[in-house]
Amino acid sequence: MAWMRVARFAAALTLGVGAAAGAGWAGAAKMDSGRPIVIAHRGASAERPEHTLAAYERAIERGADFIEPDLVSTKDGVLVARHENEIGGTTDVATRPEFADRRTTKRIDGREVTGWFTEDFTLAELKTLRARERLPMVRPANVAFDGRYAVPTLEDIIQLARRKEAETGRSIGLYIETKHPSYFQNIGLPLEPELLRVLTAHGYEGPQAPVFLQSFEVANLKALRAQTRLPLVQLMEANGAPYDRVLAGETVRYADMATPEGLALIATYADAIGIQKEMLVPRTPENDIAEPTTLVRDAHAAGLGVHVWTFRSENLFLPRRWQVSAGAGGGTTVLPAGRGQAEAELELFLELGVDGVFADDPAVAVPVRDRLLQTKMQSAAKK
């Protein structure tokens, strides 16, 4: 089953670089992993501006199993890491007078977006820009790092991962998202051919490679399935639909894809699903948690792993019950940027049997995962 292959891959990561690379599925299959993976969402973005080499390196230091680059294209076809191709909020481009005339409005996945776009810059031009914190009001400490870091290429990220593998003796996985694939395909800058070219050039091939490829769209994952054996992940959110299916005039929504019938179809081309938290544990109108759905059970029954996004430590992102109040005598003021009880939320989802978590703060997620695993091992040893 596909989800068993994902679990075996996670087990291979625990063996270290040499073992994971050499043992392959035969060695990993002998281990009953039960070890959910921690995916550093855009790097350790709770501690450094997202999608910078500093954020990825910090995540590795914090023990993340995977670092997650979102990839878009430059004008000259180079893959770089940005959450969106619009970079007005994540770089200093708006302060650069030489690029003032690049500001424009485009239609991206059905909505009008105004700003500066990576596909209008060559790599050389983009490399003159410097990254900025995307959420300065929520993560004010990260503002201190504004202006320090360049926009990294996929090549830069791979070089970092290889260097850290040599330093740490453990495998550093890449969990790569292709952003707006239909859009880039339609403007003549398809992401997938260059992605596979770079990965193949660096030896990332086959189901044992420490790589996942993810997308919110469907057609590009199906095309990738015909070209690579790397594990593929169908991303889904609580609302909306894959934009390539919208372009094709179809009415299928992510909610339809999360049914047992939809999951069976996903299993024909993907190895796992990457789901928004609310698809597994819904939120009430009062921002509390509701009863969990059966999505983990249903996905596993279809042969799919389940990875959940995104776990963040700040009150702004947490259910009310895990927000922490501030003020004298335990007042009732909840500061959005204050840290809440993120550990409790992670524990809930891990106990529900998910196979991986996307976390902005691996420094929180890794210890929670490891503590739960240790507890389970101790309980098993007493039986």
Residue 347 lies in a domain: no
Whole-structure pTM value: 0.91
Which range of residues forms the domain containing residue 124? 36-337+353-382
**Domain annotation covers residue 21:** no
Whether 182 maps to a domain, the answer reads yes
- Residue 18 falls inside a structural domain: no
The one catalytic residue among 51, 83, 300, 307: 83
Residue of 41, 51, 180, 300 marked catalytic: 41
Whether 83 is a known active-site residue: answer: yes
pLDDT given at position 22: 28
**Average per-residue pLDDT for the chain:** 91
Mind listing the pLDDT tens digit for each residue in 196-239?
Answer: 999 999 999 999 999 999 999 999 999 999 999 999 999 999 99
What pLDDT was estimated at residue 29?
Answer: 23
User: What's the rounded mean pLDDT across residues 42-58?
Assistant: 98
Q: Is residue 285 part of a domain?
A: yes
Average pLDDT over residues 364-380: 92
> Could you tell me the pLDDT band of residue 19, with boundaries at 50, 70 and 90?
very low
16: pLDDT strictly greater than 50: no
Contacts of 23 (CB under 8 A, 6+ apart): 12, 15
For this structure, is 180 an active site residue?
A: no
Question: Which tens digit of pLDDT belongs to each residue from 95-142?
Answer: 999 999 999 999 999 999 999 999 999 999 999 999 999 999 999 999
Q: Is 346 within the bounds of a domain?
A: no
| Residue 18 vs residue 232, higher pLDDT | 232
Residue 256's pLDDT is: 98
Confidence of residue 383 (pLDDT cuts 50, 70, 90): confident
CATH number for the domain including 253? Answer: 3.20.20.190
Pairing relation of β-strands 70-73 and 79-81? antiparallel
3-state secondary structure of 67: strand
Residues 336-363 have pLDDT tens digits of: 999 999 999 999 999 999 999 999 999 9
Which residues, 6 or more positions from 221, have their beta carbon under 8 angstroms from its beta carbon? Answer: 213, 215, 232, 234, 269, 270
User: What distance in Å separates the CA atoms of residue 140 and residue 47, rounded to the nearest whole number?
Assistant: 10
330: phi > 0 → left, psi -120 to 50 → alpha, else beta; which?
left
> pLDDT tens-digit profile of 263-301?
999 999 999 999 999 999 999 999 999 999 999 999 999
52 has pLDDT over 50: yes
In a domain, 25, yes or no: no
- For residue 7, being part of any structural domain is answered with no
Tally of structural domains, the chain? 1
Q: What CA–CA distance (Å, rounded) separates 30 from 11? A: 9
